[in-house]
Each structure stands twice: as C-alpha cells, then as structure tokens.
Amino acid sequence: MLQASQRTALSGPALIRLLARLADVDVPESRQSLSDRLSQWLGWTDAIALSSALNGNPPGVAGGAGVRVFGSAEESEYVRARSSLAKTITGDSVFAAHRRRGSAHASSQSAPPEPAADYAVFRQRYLSIQQSMEMGIGNLRGRLRGMLAARTPDMARLAVVDAVMERALSERERNLLASVPALLAGHFERLRVAEQATLAAAEAAGDTAGAAASNAAALTPGAWVNVFRKDMQSVLLAELDIRLQPVEGLLAALRAS
C-alpha cells in the first residue's frame, strides 16, 4: 500500500489534519488564541470598521410585509448548494479512478499503459473548483446576511460584522487556500516515486516465491494515481466544510432570531 507516514494527531479542522498528513510534515499546535491571530490578520482600517460595527448603533431594520421570512426554503437552499458543490468534487472526471480493462489477473505487460500523469491538470482543476466554491458560497452568504439584517437590531449588527469580516479576511483566505495545490504537489511526487521504488524492488526480486503473482493488484503500474485522486477529493471536501462555516453560522443566527 502507498501511504503517507503517520504524524502527530492534531485537534484542528479536518483540512489542516489532512494536509499535515499528506504533506508529510509535523504541524505544532498553535499557542495563540483566536483573538491574537485575528489581530495579526486585520489591518487598521479593518479594525476600525469592526469596532464601528460592534460598538456603533445598529442599522435600521426594515419592517412590514416585505420582509422575507426565514424558513425551510433557505435551509433547502443551503442543502442544495452544499450537495451541488460536493457532487462537483466527487463526480469530476479528473478525480475519477481509472480501471484497466480486461481480466483482473492480466499482467501489467498485456494491459494498455496509463497515460502519463501530469500534475498541472490536477492543479488547474483544483483551482477551478475553488473558484466555484467561492462564488457559490459567497452568493449564498450574501443572501442569508441580507435576511439577517432585516430581523432585529442585534441581528442587523451581526450581519454588519459578518460583512466586515468577509471583506477583511477574504483575500487572506483566498491566498492561503490557493497554496493548497502546491502542498499536494509534493504528495503527488512522493506517491509516484514510492510506486517506482516498489515496482523496481519487485522486478529485482523476480518470480522467486511467486511474490509478483500474489501482489499483482498492489503492484499494478499507475495505481498511485488513483490514490492521489482520492486524496485530492478528500482535501477538497474538507475545504468545502471550512468555507461553509460562516454560512452555517448565519443559518444558526436566523434559526434563533
């Protein structure tokens, strides 16, 4: 089996734990509080805007029959958006596992060779799906925030805070998440090299003790690419969970208001 080495378990989000494992690095637990880290990420203009949102008078709340009532339609919209993005990831042809045609016991010499794997293809598709997530989730977040702003003064203040935080952190978030494909490039190369070493060792061993026959499935050339496809899917799904957290927070506030 081709596996990344085990590292110290982290208590952070699934995305961080996955990347730490696949990138084959130890990631120490941060000793900073969330507020300390945010203070480093926010510029002085962001801090002023956030302070004004928290301490100033809440915006006027629109009342009357024109106010849209939160209900099952919004919950369903969230479920549809999440499901659609998840299907985009799991159903993408670039990440689909390729199977060889013919008998499962056919030798690697008789099977048609896999096309050479090009990481640039995976990277470009990852970035494209990131753009789809950013656009779809951003639109949904804006709609829910608009509904929240029309509720009570406290909810209107929360909507303003969310808007300020989105503006302040969106560029940093985009830059950090755009670096994920670079981390996965190392995993891609390690899997490729590990399979080459395994195949070379099996070839050197020859047919003694029937090792090649008993491990045919594990020694199929190109199997590492399917491992990588599955790992990249898992990272994208974990990233989807991270991106949806602000939306889930707005939904929770709407349910409670």
Higher pLDDT, 4 or 79: 79
* Segment 95-104 long-range contacts (CB within 8 Å, at least 24 positions apart): 95/125, 95/229, 95/230, 95/232, 95/233, 96/229, 97/226, 97/229, 97/230, 98/222, 98/225, 98/226, 100/220, 104/217
Cα–chain center distance at 136 = 14
Q: How confident is the model at residue 237 (pLDDT cuts 50, 70, 90)?
A: very high
Total residue length of the chain: 257
**27-35 mean pLDDT:** 72
Highest mean pLDDT among 40-54, 110-124, 178-192: 178-192
> The whole model's pTM is what?
0.80
Are the CB atoms for 199 and 219 separated by under 8 Å?
A: yes
pLDDT at residue 217 tops 90: no
At 108 the pLDDT is 44
Q: What's the rounded Cα separation, in Å, for the pair 111 and 242?
A: 41
Residue 204 tokens, joined: 């050197």
Per-domain boundaries in the chain: 40-55+67-94+116-256
At 107 the pLDDT is 44
